[in-house]
Amino acid sequence: MSNAVAEAPAAADPAIQSFLVTFTIRRFDPEKDAEPRWVDYDVELFSTDRVLDALHKIKWEVDGSLSFRRSCAHGICGSDAMRINGRNRLACKTLIKDLDISKPIYVEAIKGLPLEKDLIVDMEPFFASFREVQPFLVANSTPEKGKERVQSIADRAIFDDTTKCILCAACTSSCPVFWTDGQYFGPAAIVNAHRFIFDSRDDNAEVRLDILNDKEGVWRCRTTFNCSEACPRGIEVTKAIAEVKQAVLRGRR
Ligand code: SF4
Ligand code: FES
């Protein structure tokens, strides 16, 4: 089968060259396909384009049935995590110039979550684990006469890294334990528990530590570091998990 081609728009500066890149995308339509299948698309792109731009070109110019999630296109909403050349990344943050375009670029859905269509998975098991760790502030006292809850810069810094999570699932869906045991809370849920466990204004750390001391909790982590490598926000996920493990052993933050 010859590859479908999506052309690049003319560059404003004629010195800027476009080039043809082959994308091999794992497609799956539950209404037609018994199994996923790989389909090639040739896309004309500029080096400043991102994988998300290529997916848009394919969808808008070649095959409107190609399905994927995206919203912000700027690395903030977390909706376009996918496997690109075998690595979990955000399509909107992956520049074509950073990939080896002498070979096809393989794009498929993230692993470990039920495949719904093409690059879309069912995120509900992921969000169920997130909800279970109580990812919200629990304060048992009322601040004095309308004053805010005071927190020192040093206390805020303790959980600064884990506030950056955008719930993209790149970490959890790169974890081999999660692939084999869908019951494991997974790195993202633990990162979001960490964000509140170590918040000095929160009064529910012990409850969250108890939840994560479960057989499907922090002790399932095998410290493979896949999660830290996958995180598009640069969060030290494995370090956060280790800090939660230590807090579980102490029985307090
Ligand atoms: S920790 Fe990083 S990889 Fe995991 S869900 Fe949050 S932003 Fe995504
Ligand atoms: S589209 Fe929002 S993070 Fe990529």
pLDDT tens digits, residue range 68-119? 999 999 999 999 999 999 999 999 999 999 999 999 999 999 999 999 999 9
Which one of the ligands is nearest to 91 CA? 2
Spell out where the chain has E strands.
4-6, 19-27, 37-45, 81-84, 87-90, 105-108, 115-117, 120-121
Q: Is the CB of 230 under 6 A from ligand 1?
A: yes
Report the percent of the chain where pLDDT is more than 90. Answer: 85
pLDDT at residue 2 greater than cutoff 50: no
Spatial CA neighbour of 240 closest among 232, 221, 252, 250: 221
Q: What is the pLDDT of residue 251?
A: 86
Structure confidence at residue 118 (pLDDT): 98
The reply to whether ligand 2 has any atom less than 6 angstroms from the CB of 80 is yes
CA 77 to ligand 2: nearest atom: 2
**CA of 213 relative to ligand 2 center, distance in Å:** 33
Say if residue 99 is exposed, middle or buried (CB neighbours under 10 Å; 0-12, 13-18, 19+). Answer: middle
Cα dihedral: 210, 213, 217, 219 (round 10): 160
Cβ 71 under 6 angstroms from ligand 2:
yes
Closest ligand 2 atom to the C-alpha of 81?
A: 4
Confidence of residue 244 (pLDDT cuts 50, 70, 90): very high
> Residues with Cβ < 8 Å from 170, sequence gap 6 or more?
81, 88, 89, 90, 110, 230, 231, 232
- Rounded CA gap, 188 and 194, in Å? 10
How far is ligand 1, taken at its centre, from the CA of residue 203, in Å? 24
The sign of the dihedral angle between the CA atoms of 60, 65, 71, 72 is negative
Mean predicted confidence (pLDDT) in 199-227:
94
In whole angstroms, how far apart are CA 91 and each of 5, 49, 110, 143, 198?
A: 20, 11, 12, 43, 32
d(CA 81, CA 75): 10
Domains within the chain, CATH numbers bracketed = 4-121 (3.10.20.30), 124-250 (1.10.1060.10)
Ligand nearest to the CA of 170: 1
pLDDT level of residue 9 (50, 70, 90 thresholds): low
Residue among 73, 71, 81, 62 at smallest CA distance from 22: 62
Closest ligand 1 atom to the C-alpha of 170? 3
Q: How confident is the model at residue 146 (pLDDT cuts 50, 70, 90)?
A: confident
Going from the Cα of 90 to the center of ligand 2, the distance in angstroms, rounded, reads 7
The rounded mean pLDDT for the chain is: 94
By most ligand atoms within 8 Å of CB, the mutation choice from 56, 70, 107 for ligand 2 is: 70
pLDDT at 11: 56
CB 45 within 8 A of CB 19: yes
- Ligand 1 contacts CB of residue 188 (under 6 A): yes
Quick check: CB of 79 below 6 Å from ligand 2? yes
Query: Stretch 56-65: mean pLDDT, rounded?
Result: 98
Q: In the structure, what pLDDT confidence band is assigned to residue 15 with cuts at 50, 70 and 90?
A: low
Please choose from 51, 56, 68, 76 the residue to mutate so as to test ligand 2's pocket, defined by most ligand atoms within 8 A of CB.
Answer: 76
> Angle at CA 72, nearest 5°, toward 68 and 77?
85
Question: pTM for this one?
Answer: 0.92
DSSP letter, residue 174: G
Distance 13 CA to ligand 2 centre (A): 28
